[in-house]
Amino acid sequence: MELTSNIIIIIGTVFMLFGAIGILKFRSFSLRVLIISKIDTVGAVTVVIGVALRHGISFFTLRVLLLLGILLVVNPMVTHIITRTAHVSGYNLEEDRGQDDT
């Protein structure tokens, strides 16, 4: 159990690491949003599952699972809001040639 959970946590952090590299690598807005959503959902969820497995069945696990539920609902919404705001405020996907838009 200990080993499995550790492996799962490490996988989650690896996801996050790749995400961080991706943010630095890609310059265009849409790609970055994609990667952020990956970190938010895949990375975070994997880590949380690992933590829940580590503690077995207990009250703590219940709380972690609640956190997991919130993460699953909120994080995609955040990405949704970012892209939607960009869309509404006149961001054009076609013109996105990958400049550093800072």
Residue 83 CB neighbours (<10 A)? 17
- Least CB distance to other proteins at residue 77 (A): 4
**d(Cα 27, Cα 16) in Å, to the nearest integer?**
18
Amino acid occupying residue 93: L
Round to whole Å and give the CA distance between 64 and 51: 8
Interface with other proteins (CB under 8 A), residue from 77, 92, 94, 97: 77
Could you say whether residue 63 binds other proteins (CB under 8 A)? no
Do residues 36 and 17 lie in contact, with contact meaning Cβ atoms separated by under 8 Å? no
Residue of 10, 70, 98, 99 that binds other proteins (CB under 8 A): 70
Stretch that binds other proteins, among 20-28, 38-46, 53-61, 77-85 (CB under 8 A): 77-85
**Counting contacts by CB under 8 A, is residue 84 touching other proteins?**
yes
